[in-house]
């Protein structure tokens, strides 16, 4: 079989590379998997390399299986002798053979996340530490990062001896490792760390595998962390036939420990490295690639390359400015409906955003429009645990006989009210024919409850009763914030301080945005109306066919995927690039790489949208376009009014304009007095009361007011055209 037919010149060069280290810089959509599989097949069939002398490492089981299938298809036979799999699966094979040489039994267990949490709970208890301060998930996240960086417990303790909290984390790390050893168990990070330990402890084992693996392949090399890189370096040290494939412009997993310097400095660690750049893209149009190239060239931490294609010129990239975040969602829905008339299917569309919380607005609009969709890498907004929890609190407060909602949240956050206690309460409620909340008001009548359980329940009932009393006195947004405060829901998540808890906090803040939107549209609406509206949005038919649906996902989740039509939404400063990256050049470059990944997911059409005003995490603010938009030459972009290649492409703004007018009429009083607002004017805000205008700035055709309200509200920035304020008479 000819293993180079159909390949371009650079791909052929990579497949036929003779000996020595090889760095393949594979741009987005450049056919890297094809090159890898053809090179492996070429070595076996043409160079007569024994398959057992080949090691191929990937990051996911899916990628490993795809590689196996393609190599097997090329060779037309069994490839069982090739060692092909993820870092973890390869290390398990090595450790099952020789882990006894470092004091473990070969029948070691591999602990999953639940096992790790159980073990860490034991450690925290044994160290007599406050479990409210030392959260299992947070501590395990710290330990995982330390293992990736190959930092031992003793080293960490010595480095942080004068920091009480960190020193205790180090002590927990040491105890955790001790208990793992006692249980003859490893966690996932240990699989790599213990393989490295084995190689250092027994040079004969290392020598065996160095001789065995004459040719080593590593996919997605830009995603490797320090320990993974060290493993590869050791294994390849004898033959130096290491072929790594990756793209420094797609290194977006720093938060997981990925170290971009592994690929940037590869040839320093492996002298005489042959570097081959795969720059021909088979996925996107010329215009889309030009946009991607102009954005990414602003990064300094990269190897120079520029994607090109023989594909058609294609449409100009559409950059659309929308009045606000909701109109952004309507714009996307309108364009999808229009393009479906022109022959596109729902599955051709992807909506990419920086954070999961952004999906909510699009979900609501898609539900109203009947556009089928699925969420990748996350649950639908209203299916997320934290949203269901908060809704359960609100439903119980509005409707105390809702036993389902009560049972969901009576021990959330944890109050020591277990299943056994709830079983007794529920049984008694059934016997007397009352709701659970009703019988909780008379705890002494319920048999067999411990004093501790009664005290915990009394605290819960007191919170709910108090919230019931004040629900009519506050706006819905303020009331939800009060619920979150009184129940300690936010406080508990903040204590955990890991990626999962931070994501949950973002989603809760976005739920507050739901309340803000509801109040703007329904000034007279109450909690009951709000819950009814949300129920209609969340009670979607779960049995719909998910095969032919539009896809909503974060840019991180989109890596490796491609779609005919991509909507890259929320392209605003502070959102994309994310706010925390604005004053950190390294973080900003990672955000730009993330933007590059997003752009290169598009095959035929790319829409980039940003809103002038965005309500997210409960705050409404004026937004500036992302700096990444400014990095695109004007001749490569258009707006929908200018784009003639999409057919009859007039923007369908009638509904948008009407809705915006209605919103303004609902929220802004004394429109005729707008011109009278000046610095020093006293105004009355619908929620925040009396305030004084202390600054006015021109914003496009609008004005931004800075208004000083009484504490705890303080200074607020509002756009004059939509601010729900009226001038105080006599001012």
Residue-wise DSSP of 518-544: HHHH-TT--HHHHHHHHHHHH---TTS
Q: Identify whether 664 is part of a domain.
A: no
Tell me if residue 219 is catalytic: yes
Q: Identify whether 340 is part of a domain.
A: yes
- Residue at which a domain ends, from 126, 155, 183: 183
pLDDT digits (tens, 9 = 90+) for 321-331: 999 888 999 99
User: Active-site residue among 12, 13, 33, 100?
Assistant: 33
Judgement on whether residues 82 and 14 belong to the same structural domain of the protein: yes
Judgement on whether residues 411 and 502 belong to the same structural domain of the protein: yes
Q: How many independent structural domains does the chain possess?
A: 5
Judgement on whether residues 415 and 494 belong to the same structural domain of the protein: yes
| 544 pLDDT more than 50 | no
| Residue 26 marked ligand-binding | yes
- Residue at which a domain ends, from 454, 488, 522: 522
Q: From residue 388, how far is each of 340, 365, 380, 392, 427 by CA, in Å? A: 33, 20, 11, 6, 25
Judgement on whether residues 639 and 685 belong to the same structural domain of the protein: no
Tell me if residue 114 is catalytic: no
Task: Give the CATH number of the domain where residue 272 resides.
Answer: 3.40.50.300
Report field, pTM of the whole predicted structure over 0.75:
no
pLDDT digits (tens, 9 = 90+) for 627-685: 999 999 999 999 886 333 333 333 333 333 333 333 444 333 444 455 688 888 888 88
**Are 230 and 150 in contact, with CB atoms under 8 Å apart?**
yes
Q: Identify whether 535 is part of a domain.
A: no
| 384 pLDDT more than 50 | yes
| Residue 359 marked ligand-binding | no
Q: For residue 719, what is the enclosing H or E element?
A: strand 715-719
Residues in the chain: 731
Q: Chain-wide mean pLDDT for the chain?
A: 85
The span from the CA of 446 to the CA of 425, in Å, is 7
Judgement on whether residues 409 and 512 belong to the same structural domain of the protein: yes
SS3 150: coil
Judgement on whether residues 70 and 201 belong to the same structural domain of the protein: yes
| Residue 31 marked ligand-binding | yes
User: Active-site residue among 116, 210, 228, 250?
Assistant: 250
Closest C-alpha among 42, 41, 13, 40 to residue 25: 13
Least confident window among 148-152, 156-160, 457-461, 516-520 = 516-520
Tell me if residue 137 is catalytic: no
Tokens of 256: 């997981």
Beta bridge partners of 215: 54
Q: Identify whether 565 is part of a domain.
A: yes
**Structural domain of 485:** 403-522
| 609 pLDDT more than 70 | yes
| Residue 314 marked ligand-binding | no
Tell me if residue 521 is catalytic: no
Classify the phi-psi angles of 251: left when phi > 0, otherwise alpha if psi is within -120 to 50, otherwise beta.
Answer: beta
- Residue at which a domain ends, from 280, 312, 347: 280
Task: Give the CATH number of the domain where residue 159 resides.
Answer: 1.10.10.160
Judgement on whether residues 515 and 456 belong to the same structural domain of the protein: yes
Strand pairing category for 682-685 and 725-727: antiparallel
Tokens of 440: 């909780």
Give residue 646's pLDDT: 36
Closest C-alpha among 490, 488, 480 to residue 516: 480
Judgement on whether residues 435 and 414 belong to the same structural domain of the protein: yes
Judgement on whether residues 505 and 428 belong to the same structural domain of the protein: yes
Q: For residue 126, what is the enclosing H or E element?
A: helix 113-126
- Sheet architecture: strand order including 215-218: 83-86, 54-58, 215-218, 242-246, 22-26, 274-278
Beta bridge partners of 568: 352, 608
User: Active-site residue among 305, 384, 477, 601?
Assistant: 601
Confidence grade of residue 472 (pLDDT, cut at 50, 70, 90): confident
The span from the CA of 717 to the CA of 707, in Å, is 6
pLDDT digits (tens, 9 = 90+) for 345-375: 999 999 999 988 888 889 989 988 889 998 8
Task: Give the CATH number of the domain where residue 503 resides.
Answer: 1.10.486.10
| Residue 149 marked ligand-binding | no
Q: Identify whether 665 is part of a domain.
A: no
Higher pLDDT, 85 or 659: 85
Q: Identify whether 501 is part of a domain.
A: yes
Q: Identify whether 422 is part of a domain.
A: yes
Judgement on whether residues 615 and 470 belong to the same structural domain of the protein: no
| Residue 33 marked ligand-binding | yes
pLDDT digits (tens, 9 = 90+) for 553-581: 999 989 989 999 999 999 999 899 998 88
Q: Identify whether 658 is part of a domain.
A: no
Tell me if residue 187 is catalytic: no
Judgement on whether residues 420 and 496 belong to the same structural domain of the protein: yes
| Residue 68 marked ligand-binding | no
| 114 pLDDT more than 80 | no
Q: Which of 51-60, 126-135, 660-669, 690-699 has the highest mean pLDDT?
A: 51-60
Judgement on whether residues 443 and 515 belong to the same structural domain of the protein: yes
Tell me if residue 256 is catalytic: no
Give residue 405's pLDDT: 82
User: Active-site residue among 32, 34, 147, 194?
Assistant: 32
The span from the CA of 526 to the CA of 532, in Å, is 10
């Amino acid at each position: 079989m000819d293993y180079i037919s159909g390949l371009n010149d650079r791909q052929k060069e990579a497949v036929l590379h003779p000996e020595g280290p090889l760095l393949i810089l594979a741009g987005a959509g450049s056919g890297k998997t094809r090159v890898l599989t053809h090179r492996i097949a070429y070595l076996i069939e043409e160079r007569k390399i024994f398959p057992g002398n080949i090691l191929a490492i990937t990051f996911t089981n899916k990628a490993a299986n795809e590689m196996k299938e393609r190599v097997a298809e090329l060779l037309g036979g069994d490839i069982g002798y090739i060692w092909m799999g993820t870092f973890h699966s390869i290390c398990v094979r090595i450790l099952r053979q020789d882990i006894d040489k470092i004091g473990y039994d070969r029948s070691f267990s591999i602990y999953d996340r639940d096992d790790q949490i159980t073990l860490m709970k034991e450690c925290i208890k044994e160290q007599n530490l406050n479990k409210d301060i030392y959260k299992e998930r947070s501590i395990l996240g710290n330990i995982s990062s330390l293992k990736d960086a190959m930092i031992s417990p003793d080293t960490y303790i010595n480095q942080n001896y004068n920091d009480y909290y960190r020193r205790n984390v180090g002590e927990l790390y040491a105890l955790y490792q001790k208990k793992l050893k006692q249980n003859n168990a490893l966690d996932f990070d240990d699989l790599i760390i213990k393989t490295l330990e084995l190689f250092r402890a027994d040079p004969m084992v290392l020598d065996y595998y160095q001789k065995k693996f004459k040719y080593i392949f590593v996919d997605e090399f830009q995603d490797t962390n320090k320990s993974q890189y060290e493993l590869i370096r050791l294994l390849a040290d004898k033959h130096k036939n290491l072929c790594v494939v990756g793209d420094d412009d797609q290194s977006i997993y720093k938060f997981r420990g990925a170290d971009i310097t592994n690929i940037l400095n590869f040839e320093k660690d492996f002298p005489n490295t042959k570097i081959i750049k795969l720059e021909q893209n088979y996925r996107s149009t010329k215009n889309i690639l030009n946009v991607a190239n102009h954005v990414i060239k602003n990064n300094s931490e990269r190897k120079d390359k520029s994607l090109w294609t023989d594909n058609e010129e294609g449409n100009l990239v559409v950059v659309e400015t929308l009045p606000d975040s909701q109109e952004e969602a309507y714009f996307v829905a309108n364009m999808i409906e229009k393009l479906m008339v022109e022959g596109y299917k729902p599955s051709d569309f992807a909506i990419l955003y920086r954070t999961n919380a952004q999906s909510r607005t699009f979900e609501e609009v898609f539900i109203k429009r009947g556009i089928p969709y699925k969420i990748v890498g996350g649950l639908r907004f209203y299916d997320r645990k934290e949203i269901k929890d908060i809704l359960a609190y609100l439903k119980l407060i509005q409707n105390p006989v809702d036993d389902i909602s009560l049972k969901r949240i009576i021990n959330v956050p944890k109050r020591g009210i277990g299943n056994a206690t709830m079983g007794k309460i529920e049984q008694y409620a059934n016997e007397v024919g009352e709701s659970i909340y009703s019988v909780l008001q008379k705890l002494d009548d319920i048999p067999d409850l411990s004093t501790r359980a009664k005290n915990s329940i009394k605290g819960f009932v007191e919170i709910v009763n108090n919230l019931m009393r004040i629900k009519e006195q506050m706006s819905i947004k303020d009331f939800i914030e009060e619920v979150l405060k009184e129940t300690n829901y936010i406080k508990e998540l903040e204590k955990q301080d890991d990626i999962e808890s931070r994501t949950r906090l973002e989603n809760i803040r976005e739920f507050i945005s739901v309340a803000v939107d509801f109040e703007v549209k329904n000034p007279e609406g109450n909690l009951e109306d709000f819950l009814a509206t949300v129920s209609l949005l969340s009670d979607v038919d779960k049995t719909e066919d998910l095969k032919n649906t539009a896809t909503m996902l974060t840019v991180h989740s989109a890596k490796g995927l491609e779609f005919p039509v991509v909507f890259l939404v929320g392209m605003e400063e502070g959102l994309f690039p994310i706010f925390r990256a604005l004053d950190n050049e390294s973080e900003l470059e990672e955000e730009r790489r993330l933007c590059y990944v997003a752009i290169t997911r598009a095959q035929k059409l790319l829409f980039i949208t940003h809103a002038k005003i965005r309500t997210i995490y409960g705050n409404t603010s004026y937004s500036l376009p992302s700096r990444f938009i400014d990095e695109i030459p004007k001749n490569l972009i258009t707006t929908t009014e200018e784009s003639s290649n999409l057919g009859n492409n007039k923007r369908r703004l009638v509904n948008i304009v009407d809705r915006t007018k209605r919103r303004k009429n609902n929220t802004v009083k004394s429109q005729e007095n707008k011109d009278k607002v000046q610095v020093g004017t006293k105004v009355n805000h619908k929620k925040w009361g009396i305030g004084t205008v202390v600054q006015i700035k021109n914003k496009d055709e609008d004005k931004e007011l800075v208004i000083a309200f009484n504490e705890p509200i303080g200074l607020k920035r509002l756009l004059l055209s939509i601010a729900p304020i009226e001038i105080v008479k006599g001012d």
